[in-house]
Structure 1
Amino acid sequence: MGRGSKGGTRRRRRQGTFKPDDPTIEHHKLGVWDLYVQRDLPPIAWLGWLSRWGRFEDRAEVLNDLRYLWKAVYDLRNVCLQLFIYYAATTIAMAMIPAINLWYSGQLLDIATIATVERTVDRTKLCQVAGGKFACSMALLVVGHVHSMIQRELNSRIKRYYSVHTFHALARLDVPTFEDPVVNRQIDSVLPGPGERRTIPWAAISAVFSLGSSITHMLSQSLVLLDVLSKQQDGILLAGLSALGHLFQINAKTWGTVDKTYLPAAGVWAATSNEDDFLRMEGYKRVVGSETHRKELVAGGLADYMTEQYSILVGRLGSRAGDFFQIHAESSARRLNFSKLINHIFQQLPQIVFTLRAAQYPASIPVSMASLHLIQQSSASFLGHITEFMDSTDNLAEKLSSLRKLYEADKIPVKVPDGTRPFPEDTRSLYAGVSLELRNVSFRYPGSDRDAVNNISFKLEPGQLCVVVGSNGSGKSTILKLISRIYDVTEGVVLLDGKDIRSLKLRDLRQAMAILFQDYTHFPLSIKENIALGDPENAHDEDRVREAARLAGAEEIIEHQEDGIDTYLQRPVRDYYSELPEGTTTLFGRTVDHRGMRRMIGEGPQNVSLSGGQMQRLAVARTFMRSIPSSSSDTKVGLLLFDEPSASLDPAAEHDLFARLRELRGNKTMIFSTHRFGNLTRHADLILYMNNSTIVEAGTHEQLLQCDGEYAKLWKMQAEAFL
C-alpha cells in the first residue's frame, strides 16, 4: 500500500504482465466465453444495482394487451410448454409453504401455552410440529432452487426464440422507415437495454406468475393467520397495530425492488470470445440495429439472408451464447449454495429451542413474548404480500404494454412498398445491360424544406455508361438512391426497361443492381464476410470472394492482416478484464488501455487500422462480388451504380480503379457519380453536370467541351492542377 499525492491511500498497480497461456492462470469455459483468472488472487466479488420499476395507471389498457400474452404463450407452446407447467407448480408450492409454516408456528405456540398452564407437554405432537417446520424450511429452499433453475432455462429458451423475431423485425425496415423518429422510439422500446437479462415476453409472463403467486400468498396466509390470531390473547389487536407500524415504515421508504445483478469487481481476470458463430451473430445484430449500415442492408437485399443466417447461428449456439456477465452469473447460480442451507437450519433453531425451553420451564419464560413475535412477523409478511400484489398489477400493465410493442414492431409499415412484377422477365437480357430513364423526377428528404433533386430527366440505353459530375450536395448521390429505391421519388417516375420501378419486386430490382454508396460502411464482420455479402447467394464461395478482392485491388491489403481474409474490420464482441498488471500492453492480440482503469474495465470493439483508400477498396470489392461475370445462367446484375468510389484514392489508384471498373463492366449499364473528372468521363456515353439539384448540362465529353460551359470550365481547372 502507498500514499497518493493527495494523502489518500491507493492500491499500487500490480507489476508484471497478464498472459492467458501462463500456467498460473486458470482457464474456465463459460458458454462461448473464455475466462482467465489469476490463481493467487481472491475470488471475484459481486456488486448490485438498483432496478427502477415504472408504473402504469391506465388499467383498461391491460385488457387489450392481454391478447398479446396469449399470443406469446401460443407461440412458445412448442418451445417450453412443459417448463411452463413445472414453473407454475413450483410457483404455487412456494406461495403455499409459508402459510403451512405459519400454521406450524401457531401449533408450537399452542403447545407452549399448554405447557405453561398445565405443566405438561405432548412430546409426540411437539416432535411432529418441529419436524414439520424443519421440513417447510428445507422444502422452501429446495423448491426455490428448482424454481430458479426452471426460470433461467425458460428465459434462455424464450430469449433465443424472440431474438430471431426481433432481428427480422429490424432487418425488414427500409431506410426512410428506419430514419423515422417515431419508428426509432418504437424500436428502442423493444430492444433490450444494457445488462437486461430478461426478454420482454418472459418479463410479461413472469409478471403474471408473480401476480398469481401474490394472490395465492394472500389467500393462504390470510386463512391461516386468522386461525392463529384468534387463538392468541389480543391477537387481532396486536396484528393491527403491527400492520399499522409497518405501513408507516413502508411509507417512509422509496418504493422499489432491489434486483441483484452480479458483476466481477476484484481480482485479475480477463474474458474474451473467439467463437466464430458468436462473433458473426453479434456482427449481424450490429448491422440490422444500426442506421449506419441500413442502405447496404436494403440495397443489397440482405434482410432475408441475414435473418436466415442469424436464425441458424442462434440455433447452433443455443444457451452457450450471451452477454459475458449474464453467462457468468447463470453459471454461478446453477450451483446450490450450501451456506444458505446451513443458514436456514440455524434460523429455525432459536424458535425451536425457545419452545422446548418453554415446555421444560413453563413458568420462567412468558409465552406472550413468543406470541407477540409471531404476530409481528406474520402481519409484516402478510402486509408485504399485499404490497407485492399492488406492485404486480402495475408491473403487469407495463410488461404487457412492452409485449404489445414487441409484436407490433414486426408489423411496422414500411415507406417503400414492395412491387408485384418480377424483374427481369428474361435473366439473359441482363448481359446487355438494362435501359434506364428518369422523367421529371424530383425528391425532397423527409424534414427538409428544399428539393435534393428537382425535375431531373435523362435516358440511358442498355449497356451505356453515364457519369454524373458536380460538387458535393448537388444531388448526385440522391439520383442513385432513387434508382435503387432506397427512397421513392416525390414527383416523376423512374423506368427500368420501360417499367416503373415501383411496380417491380424489390428483391428482383436490387438483385439486378450492384451499388457502392459514397457513405459506404463496413459491417462488424470479417473481411471475407464483408466482401461476400455483396452476393449473399454465393457468400460461401471463398474463391469468388478472393476474385472480387483481386479485381478491387484489395489482395495486398488482405495479405498484410494478421488473420488474412478472416480479419475482423470491427470486432463486434468486446473483451473484459480487471486489474491487469501494468506491464500488460496487449491481450488476445489487442491493445490494452490502462488509462483510467479502476476495479473493472471493458475494452470496446476495436477497428483494424486501415487508411481511407484501403477501406474504400474493400467496399469496392463487396460491390464487385455481385458483379463478377461467370456463366450465363449465373448472371444477375445488369446495372452498376458507383457513388464517388474514388473519393479517398490518389490519382494513380483512381486510374487503376477506373481500369478495373471497365474490366468489370463488360456490357452492363453503369452510372458513376464523381466530383472529380477523370479518364472515365472520356469513355462516357452521357455526362450529366449537376448543380443546385438540377442538371445544368448533358452530353458526351467532346460535346460539353465544345459548349464551353460549366463542365468545360471545371475540366480545364482540374486538368491544369495536374500539369
Structure 2
Amino acid sequence: MKELRPRGGKRTRVTSRRGVFNPEDNTRVKHTRLGVWDLYEEKEPELASIPGSSRLERFLSLKQSIPYLWMMLKDIGRIKSCWMLLMCYGVLVFVGSLIPALSIWYKGKMLKIVEMAVETRTVDKNILLNTTLGSIGCSLATRIISIAKNKVQRPLQTRLRRHYVSHIFRARARLDVPTFDDPAVQRQLDSVSSIGNTTVAWQTVNLVTSLGGVVIKVVSQVAVLAGVLSSQPDGVLLAVLSILPGLLQYFSSDPLGFKGIGVWAATTKNEHYIRIEGLKHVVSFPEHRQELVAGNMMSFILAMFSDATLHVGDYMNNFWQSVNDYNMHTFSFTSLLKDMSEHLPQLAFVLRAIHQPTSIPVSVASLSLIRENASDLSWMLFRFVEQTGSIADQLGTIRKLYEIRNIPNKVVDGTEPFPEDETKMKREGVGLEFRNVSFTYPGGNDYALRDVSFKMHPGQLCVIVGENGSGKSTILKLCVRLYDPQQGEILLDGRNIRELKLDDLRNAMSVLFQNFTHFPLSIRDNIILGNPSLASDDAKIRLAAELGGSTNFIERLPEGFDTYLDRPVQDLYSGLPEGTKTLFGRPVDYQGVRSAGGMASGTTGLSGGQMQRLALSRMFMRSFVSDDSQVGLLLFDEPSASLDPTAEHDLFRRLRELRGNKTMIFSSHRFGNLTRHADMILYMSDSRIVESGTHEELLKREGDYARIWMLQAQAFL
C-alpha cells in the first residue's frame, strides 16, 4: 500500500480495495461542509499506522521598509472592521501573556502555604482553596483566550487575505506583455504570492503580536518568579500524575479527525469560487496575456473578480486551508482535559501537604518551581531572538508587496484620444502605415522585423504571406502595441500609435493570434470576453458562437455554454476503489491518482479545430455582433491553421460578407482563395518585405510569391 503526501503535508494512501466509492451514499459516507468545499469520507476508513554580518545588513534595510509598514497599517485600517479585530486580537495576546506570570504567583502562594504548614502544622483552608481555584482558573482562562484568539483570527486573517489577494491580482492584471514576461518581474511577483496558506499582512501581524507577547511573558514571569522565590527556601512539587498529560496529548486529535487517510473525496460547487480561481489563472499565466491586453479585457476581468469575491466572502480558501480553519476554530474537549491534567501533580502536592505538612521539604519545592519555569523562559528567549532576527526580512517582504503595484510597464501609454471621428472609422476603416520599422524581441539577438515599410488605405484587405518565422505575426503584435519597435514609426490614420491612448487604440482593433488562448473559464465567459458589454445578451453570445462555427459542438457538451474548458478548481480525492469510474459527474483520472495523489484534470478534450472556432467566436463577438462595435481594423494571424478546407472556405466567405469597409490584415503561410481578393499582398522572407502588390501583379513578376503559389497549386492538380 503506497503512501502519498499532497499539499499541506497531509498524508493519503492509495488503496486497492475493490468496490465503488459513492459520495451520495450517506449510509457509508460522511459529508462535512468546509466553507465552499464539500468533504466526503468513508465512515469506516482503513487507518494508517502511527508511527553576523548578513544580519546587520538586514537590519540596515529597516529604514527603507518602515514606510511600507505604515502603508500596510493604513490599508488594514480601511478594511471593514479590521482595526476592531486587530485591537481585540492584541488585547487577547496581552492578557494571555500575563496569565503564565499569574500562574507562577499562585504557585508561589502554594509554597508559602507549605512553608507555614511545615513551621506551624496548620493550614489556612480558605487561602488554599482560593489558590487552587486560581491556578485552575488560569488554565481555563488560557484555554478560553486561545479559543477567543482563534475566533478573532479567522475573520481577521480572511479579510486580510481577501484584500491582498485582490491587491496582487490587480498588480498582475495591469502588466503589459514584455513587462509580464520579464523573469525579474515574475520573481518579484512570486516572492509575495507564494507564501503558503497565509498572507504577508497576516505574517506581519502574527510576528509583531508574537514578539510583544514574548516580551510580556518573559518580563512578567521573571518579575513574579523573583518575588516568589526571594523569601522561599527550597521546596518540592510532586508530579505523581505527570504521565497523564502526555497520554491525553497522545490521544487528543483535531476535532474534524480528517488527516487525508483512507477513502475520501472533496469538491467545490461554488461557481463564484471556481470563477475566482479561473480569473487568477487568467492574469497569472503568460499564454493569456496577449489577448487580455489586446482585447482591453482588464476592466471587465477586474469587475468579474470583485463581484465573485464579494459573493464568496470569508470563505475564499483552498481545500487544505479550509480543513485547517475547521480544525483550528472548533472546540476540543480532550485538549481542555489535557490542560487541566497538567495541574494534577500540583493538586496532589496540596492534598498531601494538608494531611502531612511536615513530609514535604519546602526547599525541594522551590527548586522544582525554578526548574519548571526555567525551560519555558529559555524557550521564549530563544524564540524572541529568532523572531527578532526576522523583522527586517518581514518588512522587506512588505516593501515588495507594495512595490509590485508600481512596476512600470515597458509599453508607455499615449495621451491622445482615438479616433477623431468614430463614425467615419466604423464606416470606412482606418489607414495603417509602417515606416522603416525594425524590431527585436526582448532577450533576442536576431531581428524579427528589419526595415519594414508599407502603407494601407482605409478599408483595404491585406494578406501577409511567407515562411514561418519571417515576421508576419510580429507585424500584428506591433500594430496593437504588445511591443514597441526599436526603430521606425507605425501610423494609424496618419498618427503615431505611440501617441494614442492604449485603450482607444486597442478598442479600434480586433486580433486573433495564431497562438490564441482559451481562458480557464466557462465557454460562455470565453466568448463574452470578446465584448464584455454584451455579457447579459444570450442571443448575441449564441450568434457569435454560430458565426465562429462552434454552436454544434458546444450544444453537444453536457453543460453546454456553461462548460469549463479547463476547470481551474480541481477535485481532490484519495485512492479510490477500482470500480469508481466517475466522481461529481466527471471521469476519474486513475493515472493521476496513482502518480500524483489524485487530482482530476477537468479538461473538456476539445480538438484543435474546435478550440480555434471558439477563438473565432470570441473575435466575432468583438467585431461583428454588436452594432456599436468600435473596431475599424481586423487582424488575423493564421486564422484557419487548425480548420479543415471546408471550414476555412466558410470562414473567409463569412469574413468578407461581414467586414463591410473595415480594414483587414491576414497573415498566413498558405496561399489560396483569400489572396485573390486582397487589395495588397506582402511577401516576407528573413524579416523583410521582399515583394508587394496584388495577386495578379505578383504572378506577373514571377518572383518568390509566384514560385510558391505554383508549388502549392500543383498539389491540387
TM-score, shorter chain, exceeding 0.5: yes
Deviation, 1:597, is 4.2
Shift of 1:360: 2.1
| 1:427 and 2:431 correspond | no
With 385-394 and 283-292 compared, the bigger mean Cα shift is at 385-394
Give yes or no for the alignment of 1:26 onto 2:30: yes
How far off its partner does 1:503 sit?
Answer: 0.8
Q: Deviations for 1:243-269, whole angstroms, at most 9, x for unmatched residues?
A: xxxxxxxxxxxxxxxx99997321322
Give the secondary structure class of the aligned counterpart of 2:451. strand
Q: What's the CA shift for 1:74?
A: 1.1
Partner of 1:556: 552
Contact kept, 8 Å, 1:270 with 1:575, in 2: the verdict is yes
Q: Find out whether 1:320 has 2:312 as its counterpart.
A: no
Give the residue type in structure 1 aligned to 2:346. Answer: Q
Q: What are structure 1's unaligned runs of at least 5 residues?
A: 3-9, 48-53, 239-258
Name the residue aligned to 2:522: 526
| Separation (CA, whole Å) in 2 of partners of 1:429 and 1:45 | 76
Contact 2:15/2:577 (CA < 8 Å) preserved in 1? no
Deviations 1:472-493 (A, max 9, x none): 1000011100000000111001
Mapping of residues 558-597 of structure 1, within 5 Å: 558-595=554-591, 597=593
Question: CA 1:45/1:643 → structure 2, altered by over 3 Å: closer, same or farther?
Answer: farther
Match of 1:208 in 2: 208
Q: Counterpart of 1:37?
A: 41
Partners of 2:414 and 2:502 within 8 A in 1: yes
Pick from 511, 532, 540: which aligns with 1:544?
Answer: 540
Q: Give the conservation status (yes or no) of the 8 Å contact 1:427–1:635.
A: no
SS at match of 1:521: coil
Q: Give the counterpart letter for 2:610 in structure 1.
A: Q
1:512 matched to 2:508:
yes
2:277 to 282, 290, 302: 282
CA 1:12–1:526: 2 relative to 1, 3 Å: closer
Q: 2:119 aligns with which of 117, 120, 125?
A: 117
Instruction: Check 1:166–1:261 CA distance in 2 against 1; reply closer, same or farther (3 A cut).
Output: farther
Mean Cα displacement is larger for which, 33-42 or 400-409?
Answer: 33-42
Contact 1:435 1:461 in 2 (8 A): yes
SS in 1 for 2:90: helix
Q: How does 1:216-295 map to 2 (within 5 A)?
A: 216-233=216-233, 264-295=259-290
Find the counterpart in structure 2 of residue 347 from structure 1. Answer: 342
Structure 1 residue 372: deviation in Å?
2.0
- With the length of structure 2 as denominator, give the TM-score of the two structures: 0.91
Gaps of 5+ in 2: 3-12, 237-253
Report if aligned partners of 2:276, 2:309 keep a CA contact under 8 Å in 1.
yes
Equivalent pair of 2:17/2:578 in contact (CA under 8 Å): yes
- Aligned counterpart in structure 2 of residue 156 of structure 1, from 155, 158, 164: 158
1:146 aligns with 2:142: no
Q: Letter of the aligned partner of 1:523 in structure 2?
A: F
Check 1:55–1:649 CA distance in 2 against 1; reply closer, same or farther (3 A cut). farther
What is the distance in 2 between the residues matched to 1:676 and 1:116?
105
- Contact 1:178 1:184 survives alignment (8 Å): yes
Alignment correspondent of 1:62: 62
- Secondary structure at the residue paired with 1:515? strand
In 2, distance between residues paired with 1:12 and 1:168? 43
Contact 2:471 2:686 in 1 (8 A): yes
Number of paired residues? Answer: 684
Residues 35 and 269 in structure 1, CA contact (< 8 A), matched pair in contact too? yes
Please tell me the residue identity of whatever aligns with 1:110: K
Output the amino acid matched with 2:392.
A
Correspondence for 1:669 among 639, 660, 663: 663
| TM-fit CA distance, 1:21 | 2.3
Would you say the 8 A contact 1:468–1:688 is kept in 2?
yes
SS, match of residue 517 in structure 2: coil
| Contact 1:441 1:489 survives alignment (8 Å) | yes
Change over 3 Å in CA distance of 1:599–1:554 after alignment to 2: closer
Deviation, 1:42, is 6.6
Amino acid at match of 1:342: L
Deviation of 1:430 (Å): 2.3
Contact persistence 1:55–1:394 (CA under 8 A): yes
Say yes or no: does 1:304 pair with 2:299. Answer: yes
The code of the aligned residue for 2:289 comes to R
Alignment TM-score, normalising by the size of structure 1: 0.91
Q: Is the 8 A contact 2:162 2:316 kept in 1?
A: no
Secondary structure of 1:410's aligned partner: helix
Per-residue CA distance 1:84-138 (angstroms, 9 max, x = gap): 1100110101111111111111111121122123222122211111111111110
Counterparts of 2:526 and 2:425 in 1: how far apart (Å)? Answer: 25
Secondary structure of 2:641's counterpart equals: coil
RMSD of equivalent CA atoms:
2.4
| 2:234–2:364 Cα contact (<8 Å) kept | no
Q: Distance between the aligned counterparts of 1:134 and 1:44, measured in 2? A: 37
- Tell me whether 1:386 sits opposite 2:373 in the alignment: no
Q: Which one-letter code corresponds to 2:710 in the other structure?
A: K
2:397 to 402, 405, 416: 402
The Cα of 1:427 is off from its aligned counterpart by 1.6
CA distance in 2, matches of 1:46, 1:493: 70
1:641 aligns with 2:644: no
Which among 688, 699, 704 is matched to residue 693 of structure 2? 699
Distance apart, 1:540 and its partner CA: 2.7
Q: One-letter code of the match for 1:200? A: V
Deviations 1:604-657 (CA, angstroms, capped at 9, x unpaired) = 4432111111111111111111011543xx131000000011111222221122
Residue 339 to residue 320, structure 1, CA distance change in 2 (3 Å)? same
Q: Which residue of 2 aligns with 1:247?
A: none
